[in-house]
A and B are shown apart, each in its own frame.
Chain A
Amino acid sequence: MSDLRDLYQEVIFDHNRNPRNFGKLEGANHKAEGFNPLCGDRLTLYLKVDDDGVIEDVAFDGKGCAISVASASLMTEALRGKPVAEAEALFRGFHDLLTDGHGAPVELGKLKVLEGVKAYPSRIKCATLAWHTLESALHDEDEPASTE
């Protein structure tokens, strides 16, 4: 079972049970929906970006598997107070982490607990759903972000 624990680390259970920044965000100025048609995971992401392009506040709600909920929760923690450009860099770094990409190294901090997902190709979309939704929120796309 050891490799299963690589996927389901305690931090992931913690964030699944008690997702941080969960709920609607009053005064959000960006919002997007994400949908994973393969597993039916759905989430809505709310962002408040200030005039200097800094993510002042962020929240999400929705339903999903432990990996997608924990990933969304961890993402919101990582994003608060970050300039949008840094958020985009984090997404690239996170994506590289899960797909063995070769982009410039990015300091991912706690997000690294999701590295175990790499061994489960069918679950990578669960881990990246929140980040794809972030992209649509930042670009104010009307269509729900899809992992497909």
Chain B
Amino acid sequence: MSTATDKMAPAGAPALDVERIRADFPALHQEVHGKPLVYLDNGATAQKPQTVLDTIAQYYGRDYSNVHRGAHTLSERITAAYEEAREKVRAFINAPESREVVFVRGTTEAINLVAQSYGRVHLRKGDEVLITELEHHANIVPWQMLSDQTGATLKVAPINDAGEVVLEEFERRLGPRTKLVAIAHVSNALGTILPVAKMTEMAHAHGAKVLVDGAQAAPHQAIDVQALGCDFYAFSGHKLFGPTGIGVLYGRAELLAGMPPYQGGGEMIREVTFERTTFADIPQKFEAGTPHIVGAIGLGAAIDYVGAVGLTAIAAYEHELLQYATARLSEVPGLRIIGTAADKAAILSFVLEDVHAHDVGPIVDHEGVAVRTGHHCAMPVMQRYDVAATARASFAMYNTHAEVDTLVHALHRVREMFAR
């Protein structure tokens, strides 16, 4: 990440034309309770650019058929588009080969796939899975389920008060029994960016495989799975300005090839008799049934869009916006930011003294501001900070400084209502 700067982008990085980007997102141009929408719930899901909407309409409206059954023109056309989307994902994360890209429903399914396919085969009683204290439930529960099934133990590396993983503690929990390490790239509740490359190196030194939950990272920074060195990387399309119901599991080819299928059905087989079935090669082995074809193609369009804007410019712009928002929110009396890591993505979790997060939500909503309130599917994080819930403003490339000001104004309204 770049250092703090008052400019839109550091020298050398292309600048971001926020107004032009905003014009591409129809959902941003509406009023809520008579006020212009200020959409700050991008950590939950992001809005869609017109090009994604048009691509979806085109493929359902004209070029639609099923994939990999190519005896006719429409099927050949959509199969090409579907596989082209896979190649776009490969390039987006800099994976060596497109067959290492498995289309799934989302990050959650990707993690469950690894737990149930890789984990069930490779973990035995007494083996260990290591996660961190800041994980989303989607990177906790599948490993608990796997532990129940195999007798493996789930270990947790702690975070410090700022919300950073304590690396010495992380390393201390690695050992010969550690078979899998599963870590977030960016914490959804705290915004912390984890030093994934370094943690992967530590894990590999102990022979453990590493899965990275990239749900919160993919929309905000360039992803390079080879530079990270991880064995699996998971992310969702809908947070990356693409459709819901489509996501990606990247896995190193030799690992995916050695893993049993996750679900059985059509598409994932080579030959079926009642006695025996042989499975297709990767990635089809993991894509049983008709996939979310148009979702994958829509995700490809979203990747094209983000690529055209440029992830370096997005990361620099969002970083500056985060600095601004952090400073402005700190002016609100009684506001405490939860998650103050040195290396942070544009996510601001906070609590207001004497006001429950669930009372913040509807009041700022009446000012047109959409934030999430609750435990953000990270209950252990809430317990760590001894709060029942937080309010969370999560930014995207189309958010502006003026929108931060509107949020701050709305928070002052909350204070006024709860004063006296």
Residues of A whose CB lies within 8 Å of any CB of B are 1, 3-4, 7-8, 13, 38-42, 63-67, 120, 123, 126
**Shortest Cβ gap from A87 to chain B (Å):** 26
Name the one of B362, B363, B382, B418 contacting A40, with C-beta atoms under 8 angstroms: B382
**Shortest Cβ gap from B382 to chain A (Å):** 7
Q: B115 near A: Cβ within 8 Å? A: no
Alpha-carbon distance between A98 and B379 when the two chains are bound, in angstroms: 29
Q: A64-B356, A65-B356, A66-B359 are in contact. Are A41 and B388 (CB under 8 A)?
A: yes
The residues of B that contact A67 with a CB separation of less than 8 Å are 358-359
Name the one of A4, A38, A41, A42 contacting B362, with C-beta atoms under 8 angstroms: A4
**Shortest Cβ gap from A68 to chain B (Å):** 8
The residues of B that contact A40 with a CB separation of less than 8 Å are 374-375, 379, 382, 388-389
**Shortest Cβ gap from A67 to chain B (Å):** 7
Contact between B358 and A126, CB atoms less than 8 A apart? yes
Closest-by-CB residue of A relative to B383 is A40
Name the one of A4, A66, A120 contacting B356, with C-beta atoms under 8 angstroms: A66
Alpha-carbon distance between A40 and B418 when the two chains are bound, in angstroms: 20
Alpha-carbon distance between A111 and B379 when the two chains are bound, in angstroms: 32
Q: B412 near A: Cβ within 8 Å? A: no
Q: B417 near A: Cβ within 8 Å? A: yes
Q: A40-B382, A65-B356 are in contact. Are A7 and B362 (CB under 8 A)?
A: yes
**Shortest Cβ gap from A113 to chain B (Å):** 16
The residues of A that contact B355 with a CB separation of less than 8 Å are 66
The residues of A that contact B356 with a CB separation of less than 8 Å are 39, 63-66
The residues of B that contact A63 with a CB separation of less than 8 Å are 356, 388
Name the one of A4, A13, A39 contacting B389, with C-beta atoms under 8 angstroms: A39
Name the one of A1, A64, A126 contacting B366, with C-beta atoms under 8 angstroms: A1
Which residues of chain B (226-253) have a CB below 8 Å from chain A? none
Alpha-carbon distance between A56 and B357 when the two chains are bound, in angstroms: 34
Closest-by-CB residue of A relative to B366 is A4
Which residues of chain B (359-394) have a CB below 8 Å from chain A? 359, 362-363, 366, 373-375, 379, 382, 388-389
Alpha-carbon distance between A143 and B382 when the two chains are bound, in angstroms: 23
**Shortest Cβ gap from A118 to chain B (Å):** 13
Mask: chain B, 108-122; 1 = CB below 8 Å from A; 0 = not: 000000000000000
Which residues of chain B (89-130) have a CB below 8 Å from chain A? none
Of all A-B residue pairs in the complex, the 5 with the closest CB atoms, nearest first, are A40-B388, A65-B356, A65-B358, A4-B366, A66-B359
Alpha-carbon distance between A38 and B357 when the two chains are bound, in angstroms: 12
Name the one of B357, B374, B388, B417 contacting A42, with C-beta atoms under 8 angstroms: B388
The residues of A that contact B420 with a CB separation of less than 8 Å are 13
**Shortest Cβ gap from B387 to chain A (Å):** 8
The residues of B that contact A7 with a CB separation of less than 8 Å are 362
Alpha-carbon distance between A39 and B361 when the two chains are bound, in angstroms: 12
**Shortest Cβ gap from B412 to chain A (Å):** 13
Contact between A123 and B358, CB atoms less than 8 A apart? yes
**In this complex, which of B358, B363, B374 has the most chain A Cβ atoms within 10 angstroms of its Cβ?**
B358
**Shortest Cβ gap from A119 to chain B (Å):** 10
Alpha-carbon distance between A79 and B309 when the two chains are bound, in angstroms: 61
Alpha-carbon distance between A106 and B379 when the two chains are bound, in angstroms: 39
